[in-house]
């Protein structure tokens, strides 16, 4: 058994940039099929076999018509390249995909093959994990007294949480949709969220007055027992593991120099 063969492992190291791309462009189903075919292919090649595609439809719980529609999109985009002579498809690698879509980050997220069905939730959790890691870097830089203002860290919240508004901005989606995505991700156990509150030092009898004069989002004030608290953004923990994809580093560097990159 050759442990250097990617087929040995039961996971794919998916570029976080691809997760973001699929969410921003509403292509999670197409990417899910691409990743599934990649997971069952032999060295990046897949025979045009009806049994393979029927299995894909069954495993991903989609109808054959939808599968054909998404396969056409993958072919049109050059992610699947037909070989009429060998009657097969070549599935392009993550290096080529990074080059096509302009990703600049070498960070990947581990997607176990038995979780591909729940790819959308995985993608949300991967993006959140990446952003939380950037927040931790920012906090470390601040504590270490390093120079602030890194272009890769600007605009991040100063706390280790992920407000719906920030997630919505990252995904370029509405706050309502971002909230729905995060809820789905929690339900699928890729993410945990914990409510967080700050004690305001006032009894409930002062609630009306405090809400009237509290300038920093008075709607965040809550009565809890006999005291008043301010609700903070939820504490969030992603269950997705991040790992550097060394093989895409050269093209990521090239994309950064090209100044026409994807967000990640």
Q: State residue 153's pLDDT score.
A: 46
Q: What is the pLDDT of residues 113-139, one digit of tens each?
A: 999 999 999 999 999 999 888 777 766
- Is the confidence at residue 80, as pLDDT, over 80? yes
23 touches 123 (CB < 8 A)? yes
Which are the contacts of 15, defined by CB distance < 8 A and separation ≥ 6?
Answer: 94, 97, 98, 103, 105, 107, 108, 245, 248, 264
Q: State residue 260's pLDDT score.
A: 54
| Alpha-helix runs per DSSP H in 61-156 | 64-76, 94-101, 119-143
Give strand pairing partners of 175.
none
- Is the confidence at residue 264, as pLDDT, over 70? no
pTM (2 d.p.): 0.80
- Mean pLDDT in the chain? 85
Give dist(CA 24, CA 29) in Å, integer.
13
- CA-closest candidate to residue 101, choices 14, 6, 177, 174: 14
- Is the confidence at residue 151, as pLDDT, over 50? no
Lowest mean pLDDT among 26-35, 146-155, 204-213, 225-234: 146-155
Give the highest mean pLDDT range of 96-100, 136-140, 217-221.
96-100
Q: What's the token pair of residue 208?
A: 């009306």
- Is the confidence at residue 162, as pLDDT, over 70? no
Lowest mean pLDDT among 38-52, 155-169, 172-186: 155-169
Which are the contacts of 146, defined by CB distance < 8 A and separation ≥ 6?
Answer: none
Q: What's the token pair of residue 119?
A: 């790819």
Q: State residue 86's pLDDT score.
A: 85
Which position has the higher pLDDT, 17 or 147?
17
pLDDT band at residue 195 using 50, 70 and 90 as cut-offs: confident
Give dist(CA 221, CA 232) in Å, integer.
9
Give strand pairing partners of 199.
229
- Distance from the Cα of residue 23 to its chain's centroid: 8
- Is the confidence at residue 197, as pLDDT, over 80? yes
* Alpha-carbon distances of 251 from 48, 142, 219, 248, 261, rounded to whole Å: 30, 30, 46, 6, 11
Q: State residue 142's pLDDT score.
A: 65
* Strand intervals (E) in the chain: 11-15, 45-47, 80-83, 88-91, 107-112, 191-203, 221-224, 227-238, 242-244
* Rg, the chain, Cα only: 22
Give dist(CA 61, CA 65) in Å, integer.
12
Average pLDDT over residues 48-73: 93
């Amino acid at each position: 058994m050759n442990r250097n063969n990617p087929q040995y492992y039961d996971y794919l190291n998916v570029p976080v940039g691809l997760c973001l791309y699929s969410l921003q462009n509403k292509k999670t189903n197409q990417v899910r099929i691409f990743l599934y075919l990649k997971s069952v292919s032999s060295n990046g090649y897949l025979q045009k076999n009806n049994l393979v595609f029927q299995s894909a439809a069954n495993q991903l719980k989609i109808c054959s018509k939808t599968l054909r529609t998404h396969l056409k999109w993958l072919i049109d985009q050059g992610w699947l390249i037909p070989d009429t002579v060998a009657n097969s498809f070549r599935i392009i690698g993550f290096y080529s995909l990074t080059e096509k879509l302009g990703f600049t980050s070498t960070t990947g997220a581990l997607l176990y093959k038995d979780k591909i069905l729940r790819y959308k939730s995985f993608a949300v959790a991967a993006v959140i994990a990446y952003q939380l890691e950037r927040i931790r870097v920012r906090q470390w830089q601040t504590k270490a007294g390093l120079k602030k203002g890194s272009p890769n860290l600007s605009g991040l919240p100063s706390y280790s949480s992920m407000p719906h508004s920030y997630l919505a901005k990252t995904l370029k989606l509405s706050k309502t949709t971002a909230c729905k995505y995060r809820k789905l991700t929690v339900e699928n156990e890729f993410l945990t969220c914990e409510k967080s509150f700050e004690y305001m030092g006032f009894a409930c009898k002062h609630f009306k007055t405090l809400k009237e004069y509290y300038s920093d989002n008075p709607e965040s004030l809550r009565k809890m027992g006999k005291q008043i608290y301010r609700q903070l953004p939820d504490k969030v923990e992603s269950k997705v593991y991040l790992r550097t994809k060394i093989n895409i580093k050269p093209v990521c560097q090239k994309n950064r120099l090209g100044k026409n990159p994807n967000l990640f």
